[in-house]
Each structure stands twice: as C-alpha cells, then as structure tokens.
Structure 1
Amino acid sequence: MDNIHAKIGICPQKEYDLLWDSLTGREHLMFYGRLRNLKGLELQQVRKRSYLFLSNIHGKYYMKTSQAIAMQVVLLDEPTTGLDPDSRNYLWHAIKLAKRDRTIILTSKFLQQSLRKHLLPVITYLFTYLYVLQLKTRYGGSYQLTISADPINKDIIEDMITSLCSEAMKIYDVVGTQRFRLPKQVVRVQEIFKVIDVLKKVVAIHAFEVISASIEDVFSNVVNHALESEIA
C-alpha cells in the first residue's frame, strides 16, 4: 500500500489545500520531485512563474503547480476550474500527453471539451474516442422543445404538444416559457416543426427552440441506464 500511495497524486478543486504560500512554485516542484524521485514532463507555463511565492500569484498558477506535482496515478477534481481559455486548452493538451504513461481519473464540468478526443468512463463501460455528435445520436434519446408565448396561451400549447406525443414531458414552465422533452423514438423533428407552424396560426409565439440532448444529458442517460442494469 505504501508503494501505491507513493504513486498517487491529487489536484483538488480547492487548489490551495495542498500548497504552501511561503514556498515558490519551483520549490514545490523540487520538494515533490525529490520526495518521489520524479522526472516528469516540463510544464513551461509553470516554470515561467515558478520563482514567485504562491501568496503573490493568481489562483490559476496555484492550479498549475498542483498539476505539475502530480504522480503516476493522477486524481484531478475539476482541474480547469478558474483557468482562462488558453490555460484550459494547455491543460487538456498536457493531459492528452500525460495519459500515455500514467492513469488519470478526472471530474469536469466541461464535458463537451473533455469528450472531444478523450475517454468517457461510465461504471464499467468505456466509450472510446466517440465524437460528441456520435454520442448524442447513440445515447441522446430525446429532443427538447422550448416555446415562449403569452402565459394565457400555455394550455393551448401544452395540449397541442401532448396531441403530437402523449409521452411528452414538461420540464420547465415559467411566465409563458415552456420546455418539453420529446422521445426521439416516438416523434420526428419534422413533426415538431409542423406543429409549430400550426401553433403560429393559433397563438402568438414569441420564440421557439428545438435542440437535441446535450452532452450532459447523454452522460446522465448512460449512467442511469448502467445503474438500472446493475440493479436488475
């Protein structure tokens, strides 16, 4: 177990928990490098400011220092939190390089970016190198229809949508704006637009939107399906 612990590093969401304000970034790298006999990759963006005390630099350099001291098995808890777009892209590139010879387990709100050419682990399943569109097509499962109109007409709109699809589920209803979830297996997108055209002749529709499932919805659907399979 001691050998395993010596190979595990963590980059927490609260990046300052494992760092010392009285040490510079370079001193952190030297300390952890000597402690665990690391060679690792040279992270140029960290080295540029590695001479500064951590108490004098911004949060994103805290995060970069945490990433630089990580080990062979790396646990990343939302490592892109607080990073600007350039730093975030740099980190994803560093993760892509680092995963060749180490194990990386991470959590991230940026699913759209992290799934572009990375792995999506769900319970005991791996969907490898699937692009976002493929994931949505295979695991999306529903459309989301949002309609904004005068609140007095909301019952007319709801009746029309449920007549199109009895399995339609209202998931949002605030001041005349309603959002429905429509199963792709039951309704086609062409049929949704035909109903919108009919509605326009009956009520004044201010705006409407039809979207496929988001990547977050895809992730949730796959996880729920996996959990249901395990329970069964």
Structure 2
Amino acid sequence: MKNLAVLWKFSKYNMRVIFGNKFIYFFLAAVVMFLLVGALMLFEDGSIIREASIYTLLLFPGVLLIFYPASFGIQNDKDAKMLEIIFTIPDYRFRVWIARLLMVYVIVYVQILGLTVLVDYLVFSVPIMEMSLQVMFPLTFLGCLAFMMSARLRNGNASALVVIILCVGFMVMSGELKQSQWNLFLNPFEDPGSLNAFVWQDRLLNNRLYIGIASLLALMYSLVCLQKREGFR
C-alpha cells in the first residue's frame, strides 16, 4: 500500500508538471474536437462513415492531447525551476522524463480507447482494441518527435512550432504517398482496392516497424541531448 501511495503521488505530481495543471482542459478539448469533427463527418452530404474514417477521426484528439506535454514538458520543468534538481541526481532526468512520456502515452491510449468504445456503441461496430492500438503508432512517433525537438531546441514554443510544421508536412505527404509503407498516417482500415491482400499486409507491417524504429531513434536522440546540461540553463 505504501508503494502504491508513493506511485500515486509521483504520478499526480508529474501530471501537473507535464500538463501545466491544465490536463482537464486538454482532455475536454480533445473530446469536443472528436465530437465536432465526427458530427461534421456524419452530417456531411453524401458521406459514408467507415472504419477508415473513424481511424482518421481518432487521430485528432490524440494529437491534441499528446502535443502539449511532449513539446512543453522540459520547458515546464525549467519554468518551475526543477531542472537543477533533476540534473543534480545522476540518470534521474532520464527516468523522470521517460516515465512522463509513458504516462502521457497511457493517458492518450485510455482516451482513444474510450472514444473507440463510444463509436462502437453509438455509431457502428468497430474492432475496438485493434483500432485503438493502430492509432497509437503515429501518435507515439509524434510524441517522441515533439520530445526530441523539445530536448534539442530547449524551448517549448520553438519545438511546438517545428512540430506543427512537420506534422502539416506529414499530412501533405500522406496525400501523395497514400498506400505507401513510408506514409506516417497510413490507414490500416483503408480499402486496398486492387492491391493484393498479402502485399497490403506486408506494407502495413513494414510501416508499423518503421514507425517504431523512428520513434525509438527519436527517443534515444532526446536522451543524448539531455546529457548536455549547459544548454538548459
């Protein structure tokens, strides 16, 4: 029980730091965005809601919820004058920020899972677990990318701007790449059309593998940047 109490206090404190005491606002904003975009899609003339549409819809609240903590986490520590304490303890900064990233991903996944259940109950049946897990692949990469920019640029506003530009670039490229395995937003629920089913599954597998590797590399580079204490003063 004592360990659980310590874990709860640790989680509660870090939640305040990574979301800047604004978690409830981000959560509500993500839900409102989901409902608004979903309503527009549902009532658009001639629109047909499919699993592929739901997958795309779920990306919006996920990006919104993961964007701020990943981009401004280090900046919030700096503003709260916690960086010196974190850097004082050897390897502590790595554990803290990795734990915070994991917390963010868990929170985002729980929300995505909840919204998927809501769609399954109110709209039509969808593969809840598969869809919620598939959505987490691009979100995980974007979170690691934002954290990498935050560690590299050492400024929340600058990293947020760069990530927004990159995210828009990825979205523009997704229109050109479409069913390519290099498409960050490759939709696994999209109809492959005339493409062979085995080829399609192979592309999906490669796509998820590349995203996982890219996320890991971004996280590792972030940890390398965090070793340079002078840049954070």
TM superposition score category, shorter chain reference: under 0.3
Higher relative contact order (CA 8 A, sep 6+): 2
TM-score by length of 2: 0.23
Structure of higher CA gyration radius: 1
TM-score by length of 1: 0.23
User: Normalized per residue, which structure has more strand?
Assistant: 1
